[in-house]
Structure formats: structure tokens, C-alpha cells
Amino acid sequence: MQVVLRTLLSDPTAEVYGLELGQAAGLPSGTVHPILARLEAADWVTSRWEDIDARAEGRPRRRYYQLSEHGTAAARQALAELTRRAPAVGVLRPGLAGGSL
Amino acid sequence: MSDEPREVLQRPWRAIRIEPLTARKVLQEVEEELAVSRTGKREAAWAAAMEESTRGREEAKERNAVILETEESVRRREEAARQNDEATVTAVAAGVATTVIVSGDVQISNHEHYEHHGEQAGTRGVLQRTITTAMQVVAEAAYLNVRARRRLDGQRPGRVAIASASAFARALPAEHRGRYEEEFRAELYDLPRRQHVGHLCRLGSRVWQLWWTLRRQQRLAAAGGDT
């Protein structure tokens, strides 16, 4: 989820399709769709069909995703919060933070 | 490589139905033009043409004009195609087709005249230039179309891949099937064929996560609606 949000936040106005987003985030196929579904349900992300004539183009339409205004602010806040909490996690569970147990 | 243009060159020929005998001659000339154009030996060809007859220099200039004109037309058409400017693509194609048909008719009706009065090379040269240009533009356009189609065919997913993507989508809740089926299928078109198997395996192994997410949203929505 964090990786997807960071990738989307790298250019919040950009519209990306699932495969493109997965490749940009370095995630394997099929990973981004559940995440995008959750983000869309939370109104953090909006989606629309590519505006093409599928018959003329000879391929199906892509589904483009974009961070909503609310989503951009919320994602930034959530990631900042995670970054702030990270040191605390390191103290409580040093193994998770890369330290010795 | 030598077979490809030949096959392509026959396409506009059959489409416009010019009399076969004349067409073969024109086709041969177009092939020569294309060969000269592609090998980059125009100067050598012009020099050879100049040696062939006293009119060689003029013919060489005409050939040069033909090639430049053709390249410009093909470039314009390519540019328009890149910008999805269908109007220009159609206009160029229509203009070329008209030229081919008109000049083809003239060529047919005057064919014998040219055979017996070859010395009237001035008129012949102009007409041949028109025909050659038109044929070459059509041939180049057809060649580009074939290349583009082959590129597309190279990425077009096979029936098994499409069926697999559709099957994964059918495993999802009914109201989401159509959307994800199109989305999954579209992804296949953005990947080279050699990556389809791996992509589908990964997609299939994770489709349950999407199913679970969508079902959970449905339940939450239903619970929210009940309260």
C-alpha cells in the first residue's frame, strides 16, 4: 500500500493504469488491483476508462487511476505519520527495524 | 526483406485494378525506385541513368523529384498517423488513390502510344513520374501499415491468454466482472507475448485478494446501508 501511495504521490496529477503503476512501484502483477480497489472505495483514488474506440485501436480500453484531491492530502498525511512512527517500531521491535533482537 | 516489399507492392495493385500488363511495368519501376531509395545508392542510379540515354540527366532529376515527393508524402502520412490525425491520413490516402486511378487509366489508354512513340519521352516521363509517385506512396503506406500490424500482432495476446484473463475476472463478484475482465485483458496488450504466461500466473495467484477486497467492500456497504 505504501509503495503504491508513494508512486502515485510522485506525480499526483498523473493518470496511470494498473499494470503501469505496478511496474513503476516494482510490484508483481495482480498486487495493485486489490490496493487500488481499497483506495477507490475510500475515495482516495478515482478511475475512468480510457477514451478510445477499442475496435479501432484493436485492444481493450485501459482503466486509468488518479489520486483525488482528498486522496493526495490524506496519502501525504498517512505516509508522514508512518514515517514518524517508524522509530518507535524500531525501539519496540528492533528486528523489524533491522536491528538485532 | 526483398520478399516483403514485393508482397506489399501487390496489395495496392490489386486494390485499384489497373490492367495487369501495364501494372507489371509500373510495379517493376516502383520496385526499382524503392530498392534505390532503400539502399541509398541514388547517385549511382542517377549516374547509370544518365549514361543510358541523352535524356538521362532529365530522367534522373525526375526520379529525384519522385523520391523526394514520395518521401514527403510518406513522412506526412506517418506524422499524421502518429498524431492520430485521421483526416490527413485519409486525405493523403484518398489523394494518392485518385492519382493512381486517374494516372492508371491514362497509362492504360496510352500504353500502346508509349510503346510505339517512345521518343516522346518528355510526356512519358511526366506521366510515369505521376504513376510512380502514386504507386510508391501507396506501396510505402501499405508497407508501413503491414509493419504496424505486425508489431501489433506481435503483442496481441493469444486466445488462451485472453480466456485465462477472462476466467480470473469471472471469479470476482458479479458486478465487478465486466470491469476487471476488460482491465485484465487490456494489460495483456501492454506486455510482450513472452511475458504473458508469467503475468497470468501471478495475476491468477493473487486474484483471491481482489475477490476478498471487493467482497469486504460489499459487506461494509451492505452493513452501512442497513444501519
CATH number of A2-84: 1.10.10.10
pLDDT at A46: 94
List, for residues B37-86, the tens digit of each pLDDT value.
Answer: 555 555 555 455 445 444 444 544 554 554 455 556 656 766 777 787 77
pLDDT at A73: 92
pLDDT at B30: 54
Residue whose entry in the numeric block shows the C-alpha cell 528492533: A94
In three-state secondary structure terms, A91 is: helix
Closest Cα in chain A to B182: A60
Q: Does A55 touch chain B (CB under 8 A)?
A: no
Whether residue B186 and residue A59 make contact (CB cut-off 8 A), yes or no, is yes
Contacts of B207 in chain A (CB under 8 A): 30
What cell does B129 get? 513520374
Q: Does B90 touch chain A (CB under 8 A)?
A: no
Whether residue A37 and residue B210 make contact (CB cut-off 8 A), yes or no, is yes
Whether B93 has a pLDDT exceeding 50, the answer reads yes
Angle CA B136–B138–B143, to nearest 5:
90
Whether B204 has a pLDDT exceeding 80, the answer reads yes
Whether B153 has a pLDDT exceeding 70, the answer reads no
Contacts of B190 in chain A (CB under 8 A): 17, 19-20, 62
Band of pLDDT at residue B223, cut at 50, 70 and 90: confident
Mean pLDDT of all residues in A49-71: 88
Whether residue B189 and residue A34 make contact (CB cut-off 8 A), yes or no, is no
pLDDT at B43: 52
Whether B11 has a pLDDT exceeding 50, the answer reads no
Nearest to B93 by CA among B68, B76, B71, B69: B76
Q: Does A95 touch chain B (CB under 8 A)?
A: no
Q: Does B213 touch chain A (CB under 8 A)?
A: yes
Domain ranges of chain A: 2-84
List, for residues A32-55, the tens digit of each pLDDT value.
Answer: 999 999 999 999 999 999 998 888
Mean pLDDT of all residues in B84-104: 54
When the pLDDT of each residue in chain A is averaged and rounded to a whole number, the result is: 83
Band of pLDDT at residue A88, cut at 50, 70 and 90: low
Residue, of B164 and A97, whose pLDDT is higher: B164
CB A75 within 8 A of CB A9: yes
- Alpha-carbon gap: B56 to the closest alpha carbon of chain A (Å): 47
Contacts of A37 in chain B (CB under 8 A): 210, 213-214, 217
Q: Does A76 touch chain B (CB under 8 A)?
A: no
Give the one of A17, A29, A34 whose C-beta lies nearest to B213's C-beta: A34
Whether residue B210 and residue A30 make contact (CB cut-off 8 A), yes or no, is yes
Contacts of A30 in chain B (CB under 8 A): 202-207, 209-210
Whether residue B210 and residue A20 make contact (CB cut-off 8 A), yes or no, is no
Whether B138 has a pLDDT exceeding 80, the answer reads no
Q: Does B222 touch chain A (CB under 8 A)?
A: no
Mean pLDDT of all residues in A52-79: 88
Contacts of B180 in chain A (CB under 8 A): 33
Domain ranges of chain B: 3-154, 159-226
Band of pLDDT at residue B222, cut at 50, 70 and 90: confident
pLDDT at B189: 87
Residue, of B202 and B73, whose pLDDT is higher: B202
Q: Give the whole-angstrom CA distance, residue B216 versus residue A30.
A: 18
Angle CA A34–A39–B189, to nearest 5:
50
pLDDT at B4: 41
CB B164 within 8 A of CB B200: yes
Question: How many pairs of residues across A and B have Cβ atoms under 8 Å apart?
Answer: 67
Contacts of A63 in chain B (CB under 8 A): 179, 182-183, 186
Nearest to A69 by CA among A39, A43, A101: A43
pLDDT at B178: 92
> Looking at B81-95, B99-113, B121-135, B161-175, which range is the least confident one?
B99-113
